[in-house]
């Protein structure tokens, strides 16, 4: 996890797509390049856009998958995690626990 975390921090973390890339590296055992390509394909952007904080802020806001600062009327916290889990087809433990507690079959 340490290496994936360090590499994603270099990408800008939640300011860009670094947090999602790191999550894919850890959950799907992807290499860095493979994870970046997967994220870029899912977001329908090129690899350079993943590192652009301005463009990624707009994309993350539009998709409501989290941003550095909370925005009024937009998803926050666990809701963003749930959207990320659905969009990138990954399991996030906190999202799965919430679904179980709420007895949701999502």
pLDDT given for residue 73 in this prediction: 87
pLDDT given for residue 16 in this prediction: 81
As a whole number, mean pLDDT of residues 24-47 equals 94
Residue range 50-94, pLDDT digits in tens: 988 899 999 999 999 988 888 888 888 899 999 999 999 999 999
pTM above 0.85, yes or no: no
Between 9 and 19, the more confident residue is 19
The mean of the pLDDT values for the chain is 86
- Residue 1: pLDDT band with limits 50, 70, 90: low
Rg from Cα positions in the chain: 13
- Residue 12: pLDDT band with limits 50, 70, 90: low
Exposure string (b/e) for 46-69, b if CB count within 10 Å is 16 or more? Answer: eeebbbbeeebbebbeebbbbbee
C-alpha distance from residue 102 to each of 96, 105, 106 (Å): 10, 9, 11
pLDDT given for residue 75 in this prediction: 87
C-alpha distance from residue 20 to each of 33, 71, 72, 98 (Å): 13, 19, 22, 20
């Amino acid at each position: 996890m340490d290496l994936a975390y360090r590499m994603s921090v270099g990408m800008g973390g939640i300011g860009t797509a670094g947090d999602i890339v790191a999550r894919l590296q850890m959950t799907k055992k992807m290499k860095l390049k493979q994870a970046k390509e997967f994220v870029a394909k899912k977001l329908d952007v090129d690899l350079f856009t993943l590192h652009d904080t301005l463009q990624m802020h707009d994309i993350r806001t539009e998709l409501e998958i989290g941003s550095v600062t909370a925005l009024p009327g937009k998803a926050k916290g666990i809701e963003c995690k749930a959207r990320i889990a659905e969009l990138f087809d990954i399991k996030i433990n906190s999202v799965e626990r919430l679904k179980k507690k709420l007895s949701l079959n999502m």
